[in-house]
Structure 1
Amino acid sequence: MSGGGGTLKAPAFTLAEGATHVVMLNSQRRFGFTLAEVLVTLGIIGVVSAMTVPSLIQNYQRQSYVTQLHKFYNELSQALVRYQNDRNAVNLTEAGLSSNAALKTFMNNYFKVVQSCDTASSPCFAASYRRLDGVGMGELNSAESYVIASGAAIRPLYSKDNQKIVNFLVDINGQKGPNIWGRDIFVIGAYNNGLLDSWAEDVVSAPLTKEEREAAPDTWKAFADILNDNWEMTY
């Protein structure tokens, strides 16, 4: 509307009937955290980490040990099959695996041996080992031992008991730690039919039943438990 030579502009808005004033809305929003909130959050994260990280590390270590053990198990199993097939035999005894001298030939011909220890287990194996409860086990029995390309230390020993013919003592990572029985060192039995398994009193042949594995003596029990638990280290 015009008047008096000037222009009167229309109001930008109109008050509602009965309104006496305008309230301005606060358009600012709060995006940050207070120091107290940050400290509480960090504290919660720290507690959760302290509870879960050690467990995750332990589970990873267990799985790493089992993976290495399974790798050696497969390598040994395949070597025994080749040994038997190369001699057109129906079992390992018929193939000639019937003495420690034959085991020496087997190791040198079917594995890439990078180190041999003629009579003492060290330096192929660690100087000493412990049980899971921390009790020391002392030195291993003296016998010819080998380190293969994977880094595993192996001590094969001809030890016939029914259809079990060889005890393979294996430290899956050689002299490296933890050097604990049932973590990185195990005993595996080779049976005349070529199967690998644990051992217990009165066992005739492989594969062992779940109950036979549960009856395995201490030095054989770890491998027995891993087989029973489908290649998992649950202890």
Structure 2
Amino acid sequence: EAVLLEIEELTKGLQCSVEGSGCLGACSQAPSALVVRKYGREALHTRVDNVEKSMAVVHEATGHMPSVEDPALRQRLAAARQMRARQQARKESKWNLAMAGMSEQIESAGSGQHTIELQFELAQLCGSAGQWEQALELLDRVEAVVGRHPMVVTAKGKWLSKLGRSEELGALLVDVENSTGARHIVSELKKSLKDAASVMPSGDEQPQLRHIEGYALWTLA
């Protein structure tokens, strides 16, 4: 997705169409891009992992080497590179690395759809890293703009469940049942409510055990 976004930015104003594709047969050399020119001529670019290689793809497709001197373009490309880094960090379950710089990016993005998407992404990362309270705070901000969006509601239910906050989760379930009645959301919230009942409450002497996604949990007998 990040490579696609980067190439889209570089081809703006040029006679070139950019679209996602299925497997190109080069998974071990991903990310890859296939240039299809007139008369069916094709050129496969592999390991497109920096802006220079994305520029080479555009040059191959259009015969024009794009310039990255425009400040607005450079900012958009920087955002695409940050997305690329986050995607790689998520694959490796390196949650702190994936979250690095996101708060600043959200602040600089101002308002609008992109900001909401970044806030939701950061909420998901916080949740995966065991920072469930922060995830819920971010989801509240997103919800204030988009309302009871299914993805927001189910994520909220998941993190409330992790914290064992059954009362809040139950209230959320009732509200969703009364307002939307969407079966798949109600089903997910009921599952989260059931999971919340098994969470041991935390205390000063025994803090709550938090499982970080992608990390093994070891206990000594």
Q: Which has more strand, going by share of residues?
A: 1
TM-score, normalization by structure 2: 0.25
- What TM-score do the two structures reach when normalised by structure 1? 0.24
Point out the structure with max Rg over C-alpha: 1
Please identify which structure carries the higher helix content: 2
